């Protein structure tokens, strides 16, 4: 007779019956029975495989209900029909779960990051792991990487997107894609689910690339030097020095006095502060030297060239320059990073310098085999002249000579 829920519920262990006696094995047919023991009730399934009698555990009652036990019996029957041992199949499932649980997205992500970091500056590597911890690991980090679907990934990225930080969302998607591709190579995932999200996220202009056009430089310089431009003196000097050197924002605000050789007219940014972990030489024009001398009056007693106005033991905030540009009226039109593209475009178009010379000054390390051959002193003499020509060009514009036809300052070889 088949079992019922009431019969299962009311079944009691009889201490007068032998532990393996028939009263302690309530059959439901097809090999399935409920085994009554002093410590509880257990589902078991008798079956034959390779002419051997075997026993499969299906769980504990009532956590596993009668209907669930019957479903497990039918699943075992289908496996047997396909010549698969249900016990071996169960062990393989357990093994897969152990592997999946050990290979969560966070575990694989940290492994990927450890390998990737060897070729990055400490600061850049820290930025990546911090973004993953704040925006990704706390959402999907505990999930087995193989179980993450496009829908789960989209949910996590849209949580970031809702904050309006579209560049952060783009970078998070980029990092996740790299983690998935690493997992595929390790045999821990089957595919990169971020590839399915191409058109699922907002596509906004990347703010850190916003830059004015060369034709807008005269107006920008006028706005920078006008009396009502609201910013700290050191912030104005930071904008000026960035304009004259077009280094990255982080490279500027974290500058230390020890990096400057004023007699040699060169600023050496150490490898640990460069994106690709290679020291970079920045020739200093006469105008840049004057800005640095002005900065000494404010921050000469501190470690940082751009010490924070409110906490001088720390360097200037990463957002200080961006907020200053916003107050000047250039919100969404100009950013710290924009000085780099502005300088490159203007120097190429109006000062007629060779692309390789400008590119070397921007420290755009080449990818691939040529990247290892980066030479911090490459084109150094040409770059010294170019940086002085660039500062002189800015002075001409500041003095109202923007309409003068410029000479060929550049060196084309």
Q: Give the residue numbers annotated as catalytic, written as ranges.
A: 248, 275, 337, 340, 364, 374
CB-side neighbour CA atoms (13 Å) of 393: 25
Torsion (CA) 139, 141, 142, 148 in degrees, nearest 10: 90
CA-to-CA distance for 82 and 77, rounded, in angstroms? 9
Query: Which secondary structure element, helix H or strand E, spans residue 135, and what is its range?
Result: none
CA-to-CA distance for 20 and 17, rounded, in angstroms? 8
CA-to-CA distance for 76 and 90, rounded, in angstroms? 10
Three-state DSSP class for 69? helix
CA-to-CA distance for 202 and 159, rounded, in angstroms? 12
> Could you identify the residue written with the tokens 């940290």?
110
DSSP string, 25-69: EEEEETTEEEEEETTEEEEEEEEEETTEEEEEEEEEETTS-HHHH
Cβ-based neighbour number of residue 39 at 10 Å: 7
> Could you identify the residue written with the tokens 């309409």?
403
Handedness of CA 305, 310, 313, 317 (dihedral sign): negative
The single-letter DSSP state of residue 65 is -
Torsion (CA) 350, 351, 355, 360 in degrees, nearest 10: -130
């Amino acid at each position: 007779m088949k079992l019922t829920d009431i019969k299962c519920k009311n079944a009691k262990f009889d201490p007068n019956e032998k532990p393996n006696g028939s009263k302690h094995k309530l059959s439901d047919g097809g090999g399935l029975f409920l085994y009554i023991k002093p410590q509880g009730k257990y589902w078991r399934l008798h079956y034959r495989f390779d002419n051997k009698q075997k026993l499969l555990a299906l769980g504990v009652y009532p956590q596993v209900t009668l209907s669930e036990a019957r479903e497990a019996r039918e699943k075992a029957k289908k496996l047997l029909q396909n010549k698969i041992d249900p016990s071996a199949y169960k062990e393989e499932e357990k093994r897969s779960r152990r592997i999946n649980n050990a290979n969560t997205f966070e575990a694989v992500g940290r492994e990927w990051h450890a390998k990737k970091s060897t070729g990055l500056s400490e600061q850049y590597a820290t930025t990546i792991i911090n973004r993953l911890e704040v925006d990704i690991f706390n959402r999907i980090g505990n999930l087995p990487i193989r179980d993450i679907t496009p829908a789960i990934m989209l949910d996590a990225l849209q949580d970031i997107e809702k904050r309006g930080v579209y560049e952060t969302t783009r970078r998070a998607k980029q990092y996740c894609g790299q983690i998935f591709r690493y997992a595929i190579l390790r045999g821990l995932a089957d595919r990169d689910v971020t590839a399915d999200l191409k058109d699922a996220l907002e596509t906004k202009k990347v703010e850190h690339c916003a830059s004015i056009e060369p034709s807008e430089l005269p107006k920008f310089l006028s706005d920078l030097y006008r009396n009502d431009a609201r910013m700290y003196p050191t912030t104005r000097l930071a904008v000026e020095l960035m304009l004259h050197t077009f280094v990255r924002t982080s490279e500027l605000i974290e500058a230390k006095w020890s990096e400057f050789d004023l007699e040699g007219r060169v600023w050496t940014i150490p490898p640990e502060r460069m994106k690709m972990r290679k020291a970079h030489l920045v020739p200093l024009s006469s105008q840049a030297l004057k800005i640095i001398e002005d900065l000494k009056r404010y921050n000469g007693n501190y470690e940082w060239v751009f010490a924070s106005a409110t906490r001088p033991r720390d360097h200037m905030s990463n957002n200080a320059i961006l907020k200053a540009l916003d107050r000047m009226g250039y919100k969404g039109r100009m950013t710290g990073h924009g000085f780099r593209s502005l300088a490159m475009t203007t120097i190429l178009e109006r000062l007629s310098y060779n692309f390789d010379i400008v590119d070397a000054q921007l420290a755009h390390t080449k990818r691939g085999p040529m990247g290892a051959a980066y030479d911090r002193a490459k084109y150094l003499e040409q770059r010294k002249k170019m940086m002085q020509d660039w500062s002189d060009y800015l002075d001409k514009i500041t003095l109202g000579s923007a309409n003068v036809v410029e000479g060929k300052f550049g060196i084309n070889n």
